[in-house]
Amino acid sequence: MAEAAILGFLQNNESIPDSGKFAAELNLDHEEVKNVIKSLQGFRYIEAKELKRETLVLTDEGKKYAAEGSPEFHFFSAVPEEGSISKDDLEKKLDASVFKIGSTQAAKKKWVAMGKQVSRKVQHVEDKVKESLLLIQQGLELDQESLNSLKTRKLIVTQGWTGYSDVKKGPSYAPKRKIFATDLTRENLQNWKEMEFKEYNFNAKGQPLDAGHLHPLLKVRKQFKDIFCQMGFEEMPTNNFVESSFWNFDALFQPQQHPARDSHDTFFLKAPSTTRELPEDYVERVKQVHESGGYGSRGYNYDWKREEANKNLLRTHTTAVSSRMLYALAKGPFTPKKYFSIDRVFRNEAVDRTHLAEFHQIEGLICDRGLTLGDLIGVLQAFFSRLGMPKLRFKPAYNPYTEPSMEIFSYHEGLEKWVEIGNSGMFRPEMLQPMGLPEDVRVIAWGLSLERPTMILYGIDNIRDLFGHKVDLDLIKRNPICRVGIE
Ligand code: PHE
């Protein structure tokens, strides 16, 4: 519509001097006219200059007075030609705002004498305010004094206006826009002599491919895997989400009354609710160490219950996998090992912006003769340096299965503070000895979540944007394939 009008007009006329007036004359929407001019200019059908000016527009109050007349005029009209009327009567007769504004303005203009009684001072008045507002509405000029008074009464405001001037034919002008073929289809190629093809744009980025996308967690997992592999670690099999309480807790010397075993923290299974088999002789040694100790320990001194150990659950940490692996290792002639795993764990927690009921745990352990706390610190230092976190601090902590235990803190350059990044320790003899590992074998181990470093690396502050049913799919699709450096 607007396009035909502009191209058609330029066929017989030199130029369109003002897009606003052009639109008004032809009853076209000026925004549409502007868009068409911009597009035709891009294809060089036409040339145009941008035009900026300030226009006056009526406020809502101004529009009301333009349509109905000013309050002072209504006020004046309500005062009788002869004699007078009481102020109270006038107030009853008129709208509250008309009375309030009208009385002040009419008095200021000396149209009326105001007292308890109100009377006319002149016989005839003209509603100049209404007339001026109508002129402005029609886009006509007005003297400065009237403009100023309308502005102070907030009946009009100035508004920026943009349009085009000097709209003329351009080098590619045609009375009608040509449609170019944009695709090399079979039909287009067969009729190529009659067709006009759009010029090839070698700078265009091309259509984004609708392909699969790697989740940030998968990318960071790969990064951790690579670090473990470079350091000579083997991956542990973590394919059993369902585990017995025995491997998840008892084998780790966690007493059966430990609060973490409570259903507040653990998802227990309804069916099958118990495990089918456990290695009986080892179970017996675990029972012993819990009840009365051994291997230099006094134990916990309570009645260890087999039923409690049999209960199936969703594993609460991948340390359950470590305990199975160490037990398996203890069966053969001893060989030192470096194991790692990265997989899902489950905790019955209230979900919030930093907690989910399921998340991923990264676990590393080294099993060798004569390892010390110094080895643990050194390995952690090497491990986290490879991640770009060389500044570490350790804080004494408690785990039922490690002694000593240390929380790991890393200095976050962006946040300018120390943040907790993991937990670590040396597995207790009460855990290792019943498995049958030689007495001088020590195991150093650490664990951390995969979500936390991923959130830090990708600048995500709500875990639910990363994982779960509220995940932001756009973030998954648009996140960079690789990141350079670590902020
Ligand atoms: N299992 C611990 C946790 O859930 C992590 C850990 C692993 C701590 C190994 C010490 C040694 O946080």
DSSP single-letter state for residue 355: B
Å from CA of 162 to ligand 1 middle? 65
Please indicate, yes or no, if residue 48 is contained in any of the structural domains: no
Whether residue 450 lies inside any domain: the answer is yes
For residues 6 and 33, give the distance between their C-alpha atoms in angstroms, rounded to a whole number: 8
In a 3-state reduction of DSSP, which class is residue 147? helix
Report the separation in Å between the CA atom of 215 and the middle of ligand 1, taken as the mean of its atom positions: 25
Q: What is residue 178's predicted lDDT score, i.e. its pLDDT?
A: 82
CA of 453 to the centre of ligand 1 (A): 16
Distance 111 CA to ligand 1 centre (A): 90
Atom nearest to 318 CA in ligand 1: 1
Average pLDDT over every residue of 47-72:
93
Domain range enclosing 324: 217-478
Confidence (pLDDT) at 463: 87
Nearest ligand 1 atom to the CA of 345 is 4
* C-alpha 59 – ligand 1 centre gap (Å): 68
Q: What is the 3-state secondary structure (H, E, C) of 281-338?
A: HHHHHHHHHHHCCECCECCCCCCCCHHHHHEEEECCCCHHHHHHHHHHHHHCCCCCEE
Ligand 1 atom at minimal distance to the Cα of residue 361: 4
Strands 312-314 and 337-346: unpaired
- Residue 76: inside a domain, yes or no? no
Position 81, amino acid = E
Q: Ligand 1, residue 423: give the atom nearest the CA.
A: 8
- Residue 51 falls within a domain, yes or no? no
Question: Which pLDDT band holds residue 486 (cuts at 50, 70, 90)?
Answer: very low
* Rounded mean pLDDT, 434-443: 97
pLDDT of residue 264: 76
464 pLDDT tier (thresholds 50, 70, 90): confident
Residue 483 has pLDDT above 70, yes or no: no
Amino acid at 302: Y
Question: How many angstroms separate the CA atoms of 51 and 384, rounded?
Answer: 60
Q: Which residue puts its alpha carbon closest to atom 6 of ligand 1?
A: 447
Nearest C-alpha neighbor of 356 from the set 469, 244, 448: 469
Distance 102 CA to ligand 1 centre (A): 80
Is residue 294 one of the residues assigned to a domain?
yes
Q: What is the pLDDT of residue 484?
A: 58
Higher-scoring residue by pLDDT: 380, 412 = 380
The residue type at 182: T
Winning range, highest mean pLDDT, from 122-131, 321-330, 412-421: 321-330
For atom 2 of ligand 1, the residue with the nearest CA is: 447
Which of 448-464 are b and which e, b meaning 16 or more Cβ less than 10 Å from the residue's Cβ?
A: bbbbbbbbbbbebeebb
Q: pLDDT per residue over 195-247, tens digit each?
A: 888 888 889 888 877 788 889 899 999 999 999 999 999 999 999 999 999 99
Pick 227 or 264 by higher pLDDT. Answer: 227
Ligand 1 midpoint to CA 395 (Å): 14
Query: Is 279 within the bounds of a domain?
Result: yes
CB 168 within 8 A of CB 15: yes
Look at residue 237 in the predicted model and tell me its pLDDT: 97
Q: What percent of the chain has pLDDT over 70?
A: 99
* Pocket test residue of 363, 367, 407 for ligand 1, highest count of atoms within 8 A of CB: 363
CB burial string 382-412: b at 16+ within 10 A, e below: ebbebbebeebebeeeebbbbeebbbbbbee
136: in domain: no
**Span 18-29, mean pLDDT?**
92
Q: Residue of the nearest CA to atom 5 in ligand 1?
A: 447
Enumerate residues 6+ apart whose C-beta is below 8 A from 179. Answer: none
Q: Give the distance (Å) from ligand 1 centre to CA of residue 100.
A: 77
Instruction: Give the amino acid at 380.
Output: L
Q: Is the predicted pLDDT of residue 389 greater than 60, yes or no?
A: yes
Closest atom of ligand 1 to CA, residue 405: 10
| Ligand 1 center from residue 458 Cα (angstroms) | 24
Ligand 1 atom, smallest distance to 319 CA? 1
Residues 6+ apart with CB under 8 A from 215: 476
Which residue is it, tokens 């088999």?
277
- CA 227 / ligand 1 centre spacing (Å): 19
Atom of ligand 1 nearest to the CA of 316: 4
- Taking the CA of residue 317 as reference, the ligand 1 atom at the shortest distance is 4
Residue 88 belongs to a domain: no
Ligand 1 pocket list (CB less than 6 A) = 317, 319, 363, 399, 402, 423-425, 445-447
Q: Within a 10 A sphere around the Cβ of 170, how many other Cβ atoms?
A: 17
Residue 447 clears pLDDT 90, i.e. is over it: yes
Report the percentage of the chain scoring pLDDT > 90: 72
pLDDT score of 415 more than 80 = no
Choice from 316, 317, 343, 395 to test ligand 1 binding pocket (greatest atom count within 8 A of CB): 317
For the chain, the domain total comes to: 1
Give the nearest ligand 1 atom to 427 CA. 11
Residue whose CA is closest, atom 8 of ligand 1? 424
Q: How far is the CA of 229 from the centre of ligand 1 (A)?
A: 20
Residue pair 157/56 in contact by the 8 Å Cβ criterion: yes
Over residues 459-475, the mean pLDDT reads: 83
Please compute the mean of the pLDDT values over residues 74-101 and round it to a whole number.
92
Are 217 and 449 within 8 A, CB to CB?
Answer: no
CATH number for the domain harbouring residue 462:
3.30.930.10
pLDDT by residue (tens digit) across 319-356?
A: 999 999 999 999 999 999 999 999 999 999 888 888 88
Q: With cut-offs at 50, 70 and 90, classify the pLDDT of residue 16.
A: very high
What distance in Å separates the CA atoms of residue 43 and residue 40, rounded to the nearest whole number? 5
Cα of 406 from ligand 1 centre, angstroms: 10
Average pLDDT value for the chain: 92
Atom 4 in ligand 1: which residue has the minimum CA distance?
Answer: 317
